[in-house]
Chain A
Amino acid sequence: MGGFDCKPVSGELTYGLERLAMYIQNKDSIFDLAYNNATADRPAITYGDVFRENERQMSTYHFEVADTDMLFDAFKKATAECENCLERSLPIPAYEQAIKASHIFNILQARGVISVQERASYMGRVRDLAKGSCQAWMEKNGWTA
C-alpha cells in the first residue's frame, strides 16, 4: 500500500454486485434487475425504479455540468491541504485530502478536459499524495519499510 509491503497482505473484492446480479437474473440491462421479491400483493420494483433518476442526474452533472474551473482549483487546494497535513505529521486527514484530489481528478476526466499528456502527471500527483500519507503513517508508528 502506497508502495510499502503490508504484513499481512490486505485484499479487496472488486466485483460489481450489479454485474453479477445481471448474470444471475439473466437480464441484459442493469435497470431491469429485480430489486425485490415481487408477489401478487407486492408490486415488482426494478433497479431502474430505484436508481435510474440518480444515474441520470449524476451522468448529466459529471459529463456536462460540473464546473471545470472550480474543479481544477479544488484539485490544487486539496493537494495543498494534503501537503499541509503531511508537514504537520497528520497522515489521516492527509489521506482524506488525497482521496478528495483523486475524486476531483475522476470528475475532470469524465468532463474530458485532461489531455493524454496531462493524465499521467495528474495520476502521478495523486499517487505521490497517497504514498506520502502512507509514509507519514509508517513514521508515526515507528515502522520501517
Chain B
Amino acid sequence: MTDFLLELRSEEIPARMQVKAKEDLARLFNDALAKAGLAAASVETFATPRRLALIATGLPLATDAVSEETKGPKVGAPPQAMEGFLRKAGLTQDQLIERDGVYFAVVEKAGRQTADVLAEAIPAIIRAFPWPKSQRWGAGSASTESLRWVRPLQGIVAILGDDVVPCEIEGIISGTATMGHRFHHSGPVTIGNAGDYAEKLRDAHVLVHFSERCALIRDGAKAAAAAAGLTLVADEGLVVENAGLTEWPVPMLGRFELAFLEVPQEVIQLTARVNQKYFVCHDSAGKLANAFVCTANIDAHDGGAAIVAGNEKVLAARLSDAKFFWEQDLKVALDDQATKLAQITFHEKLGSVADKVERVAKLARWLVEEGIVGSCSPAQAGAQPANNDSSDKVLDPGLRRGTQELADQAERAARLCKADLVTGMVGEFPELQGLMGGYYARAQGEADAVADAVRDHYKPVGQGDDVPTAPVTVAVSLADKLDTLAQFFAAGMPPTGSKDPFALRRAAIGFLSLLLQNDLRCSLKDMLLATGAATTFDSLEEFLVDRLKVQQREAGVRHDLIDAVFSLGGEDDLVRLLARVNALQAYITTAEGANLLAAYKRAANILKAADGVDAAAPAPADLVAEERALLTALDTAAPNAAAAVDAEDFEGAMAALASLRAPIDAFFDGVMVNDEDPAKRAFRLGLLARFRDAVHRVADFSRIEG
C-alpha cells in the first residue's frame, strides 16, 4: 500500500470555480481508479488560486490479475456461430474450455502497475476536466486542438510513494517540483511524497487546505475588527471567496471617511462586498462603522500599511461615486423621475415602463377595492366570498374609508415603484432597485406604507425570500407580477423548456407565495381579467397550477392531488384549492382513504367497460340489502359532500366520503354488478355512477396515483 500526490499548477483559478473543481478532481480520479479495478483508502483534495491537488492514501502497488470468462456457443452449434465467437475472442477452438455442453473463452489479464495506471489516467483527467470556462494559450494555441485548462497549466507534480509517476501533456512533464507563494518564495519547492506536501508548501507560504484559509480569514477578520473596538458583520460567502483569492491570507482593517456614512448603508455594504470583497463592521451601537476588513495575500514588510492605503483609496473612489449619485438623486422628485419611464421600452411588444406602471397602479387599486388585499382579509373576517359585487354595502363606513386610503396608497406606491430605475444610483448599482426607491420616497415625505411598498415590491424574489405582508406592499407586488405574467402570456411569450428570458417562473412563484402566505381569496380568472391583457388565459392558469405543484412539493403536497382537485374545474381560488388538497391528502393517506380510492378505481373500471350508464336508472322492486344500504348512504353523502365543499368545510367533505366506504365495500362483496337481468344491471351501474359522481364533488379520484 502506498500514497499518491497529484498537483496541477496553473495561473490563477477564479475563486468561484475552486470548490467545484475539487469535487470534480476527486470524482474523475476515483472513476479512473475504479475502471482499472483500483480503490484508494481515502482521497483528499486541495485548491488554492494557483493549484488543484489531490492526495490518495492506501493504494495497492499493482492491480490484481483477473481472469475473464465469456460464454460462447453450445457444443454442436453451427460453425458460423463458432467462427464469429473465435474471431471476437481472438482465440482458436482448442483454447476454449467446455463445460456442461457450452464453450467458454477464458482470458487471463495480468495485473498492472498502479504507476502505469496513473500515468495514463493523469493526462486523461486533465483533458476531460469540466471547467465552466477554459482557454488555450501559448505556442500550442496555433492549433484549436490544443490543450484547454481554466488558465494556462504550468506544472504537474505526480508522486506515487517516493517516485515520480512519469507522464506528459503538451510539453508539460510531471516531476517533483512545484512553486511556493508568488511573492514570499522564489524558486521551486521540491516535494518528497504525499506526506510532506502540505508542510513543504506551508514553509513556502502556501496554505493548501481550503478550510484552514477559511478559518484564518473568518477569525482574523473578526480579530481585526475587535482590535478597533468594532464588530465584524459575518459573511461566510466572503470568507470562501477570499480563501479562493489567497494562498497566505492576512485580514486587515481599513477606514473610510465618516462623511460617506450619509449614504444608505446597503449601498456601502454592496460596494464593499461585491466590488471589493471587503467585510463591513458595526460600531458598539450596532450601526455601520466607517471601517472595512480586506484580505491581503501577503505578510507585508510595513505591516500592510501600503496595502490598506491602496484599498482605502479604491473604496473611497467608489463611495464618492455613490455619494455623488445619492446627492444628485435626492434633488429630483420621484414623480419627475417617473415621467422618464415613458422613454424606456419595457418590451417592444408591451410598451414602455410607464405603460406598465399605469397598468400596475390600476391593478393594485383594484386589488384593494375588491377587498382581495386589505388590512383585514375577507378570509379572516369570516370567509366572505371574494367576488361580492355588493361588498361595499356590507362594509361599515369606517372600514370603507380605510379601504379608500389603502387603495390610494397602493396606487401611489405603484406609480413611484419603478421611478428609481432612472436614478443615478440604480444605474450604477442595479441590485439596489427598489431599495433606493424606498429611500428616495421616504426622503420626499411619502407615507411609510408607500415607501415600504416601493422598497419591497420586487419581493419575494424566488422561493425562500421574505414574503411581504403589509397590505400596500402586497397589493403593488402582486399587481406587478400579475401584470408581467398576463402581458407576456397574452403576447405569446411564455417560458419554453429551459428558456425563461423574462423570469416568468420566478414571477409566478412570487405571485403564488403572496397569495398563499397572505391568504388572499379571489378567483384567478377574475384577477387575470382585471389585468386587461387580451387573452383567454387557459395556458397561464395551467402554468400557474404547474408552478403551484413545484412550489408545494417542498411542503410535501402531492402534485397528483392538486391535479385531482383542479381538474374538476371551477376551483380557481388557489387558497381554497390548496385547503381542499390538504384535506384530501390527510384523508387519502389513511387506510380508510386508501380503501375508498380502491373502491373508486374498481367502480371506474366497471363503468368504463359498460356500454351506457344511466345514473337515474330506476330501482327494481326487489333491492338486496347492500343495494339499499348504498342507495341510502349516497342520498346523504352526495349532498353532504357538496354542502361541506360550499361551506369550505373540507374535513366535513372527507367525512361525507368516508361514510360511503363501508356501503361500497359491502356492495362489491355482496352484489354482482353485471347481472343477467338488464334492469338490475342498469340500476347497479347507475348506483356506481352516482358513487363516482359523489366522490367527484370532492376530487377527481381518477387523477390520484397509487
Q: Which chain B residues border A7 with CB–CB below 8 Å?
A: 141-144
Instruction: Give the shortest distance, in Å, between B232 (CB) and chain A (any CB).
Output: 28
Type the 1/0 row for B122-146, where 1 means its CB is closer than 8 Å to any CB of A.
0000000000000111010111100
Is B136 within 8 A of A5, CB to CB?
A: yes
B144, B422, B430, B501: residue with the most chain A Cβ atoms closer than 10 Å = B144
- How close is B499's CB to chain A, nearest CB, in angstroms? 12
B399 within 8 A of A: no
Taken together as a complex, chains A and B put the C-alpha atoms of A68 and B421 apart, in Å, by 17
Is the beta-carbon distance between B141 and A118 smaller than 8 angstroms? no
* B347 CB–A CB distance under 8 Å: yes
Q: Which of B202-210, B260-268, B338-346, B692-700 touches A? A: B338-346
Give the complex CA separation of A70 and B346 in angstroms: 19
| A residues in contact with B353, CB < 8 Å | 115
Contacts of B317 in A (CB 8 A): 28
A48 to chain B, nearest CB (A): 16
Contacting residue for A115 out of B136, B143, B345, CB 8 A: B345
Query: Which residue from chain B places its CB closest to the CB of A5 in the assembled complex?
Result: B144
Q: Which A residues are CB-close (under 8 A) to B139?
A: 8
- For B430, the chain A residues whose CB sits under 8 A away are 116
Contact status A115-B144, CB under 8 Å = no
Interface residues on B, range: 20 to 34
- Report Cα–Cα, A112/B428, bound state, in Å: 11
For A28, list chain B residues within 8 Å (CB). Answer: 313, 316-317
Given contact pairs A5-B136, A28-B313, A68-B343, A115 touches B421 in the complex (Cβ within 8 A): yes
How long is the Cα–Cα vector from A113 to B346 in the complex, in angstroms? 10
A116 to B503: give the CA distance in the assembly, Å. 12
Alpha-carbon distance between A8 and B343 when the two chains are bound, in angstroms: 45
Q: Residue B502 at the A interface, CB < 8 A?
A: yes
Q: Which residues does chain A contribute within 8 Å of B84, judged by CB atoms?
A: none
Choose among B136, B345, B353, B427 the residue with the greatest number of A CB atoms under 10 Å from its CB: B345
Measured CB to CB, the closest approach of chain A to B597, in angstroms, equals 46
Report if B348 contacts A (CB, 8 A).
Answer: yes
Q: Which residues on the A side are within 8 Å of B422 (C-beta)? A: 112
Shortest C-beta distance, A16 to chain B (Å), equals: 13
**Residue A1 CB within 8 A of the other chain:** no
Kindly state whether residue A117 has any CB partner on chain B within 8 Å. yes
A63 to chain B, nearest CB (A): 9
Which residue of the partner chain B has the closest CB to A116? B430
Kindly supply a per-residue 1/0 record for chain A positions 45-61, scoring 1 wherever the CB is within 8 Å of any chain B CB and 0 otherwise: 00000000000000000
* Cβ contacts A12-31/B at 8 Å (1 or 0 each): 00000000000100001000
Minimum CB distance partner of A69 in chain B: B343
A113 and B344 in contact (CB under 8 A), knowing A5-B136, A28-B313, A120-B501? yes
Task: Indicate if A9 sits at the interface (CB-CB under 8 A).
Answer: yes
Which residues from chain B contact A38 at a C-beta distance below 8 Å? none
Q: B340 and A117: CB pair below 8 A?
A: no
How far apart are A2's CB and chain B's nearest CB, in angstroms? 14
- Per-residue contact bits, chain A 103-122, to B (CB 8 Å; 1 contact, 0 not): 00000000011111110100
Contact B347 A118 (CB under 8 A): yes
Chain A nearest CB from B401 CB (Å) reads 37
Q: Looking at the assembled complex, report how far the CB atom of B705 sits from the nearest CB atom of chain A, in whole angstroms.
A: 39
| Contact indicator A9/B344 (Cβ below 8 Å) | no
With a CB–CB cut-off of 8 A, which chain B residues contact A112?
340, 344, 422, 427
Indicate with 1 or 0, residue by residue over B270-313, a CB within 8 angstroms of chain A CB atoms: 00000000000000000000000000000000000000001001
- Cβ distance A12 to chain B, nearest Cβ, rounded Å: 14
Which residues on B sit within 8 Å (CB–CB) of A23?
310
Nearest residue (CB) in B for A72 is B345
Residues of B within 8 A of A113 (CB): 343-345
List CB contacts (< 8 Å) of A94-145 with chain B.
Answer: 112-118, 120
Q: Which chain A residue has the least Cβ–Cβ distance from B313?
A: A28
Chain B, Cβ-Cβ closest to A26: B313
Q: Which residues of B are in contact with A by a Cβ distance under 8 Å?
A: 135-137, 139, 141-144, 310, 313, 316-317, 340, 343-348, 353, 421-422, 427, 430, 501-502
29 residue pairs from A and B, CB less than 8 Å apart: A5-B136, A5-B144, A7-B142, A7-B143, A7-B144, A8-B139, A8-B142, A9-B135, A9-B136, A9-B137, A23-B310, A28-B313, A28-B317, A68-B343, A112-B340, A112-B344, A112-B427, A113-B343, A114-B344, A114-B345, A115-B344, A115-B346, A115-B353, A115-B421, A116-B421, A116-B430, A117-B346, A118-B344, A118-B348
Q: Give the 9 A-B CB pairs with smallest separation, nearest first.
A: A9-B141, A5-B144, A8-B141, A115-B344, A113-B343, A8-B142, A118-B345, A117-B347, A7-B142
Q: Report which A residues bind B (CB closer than 8 A).
A: 5-9, 23, 28, 68, 112-118, 120
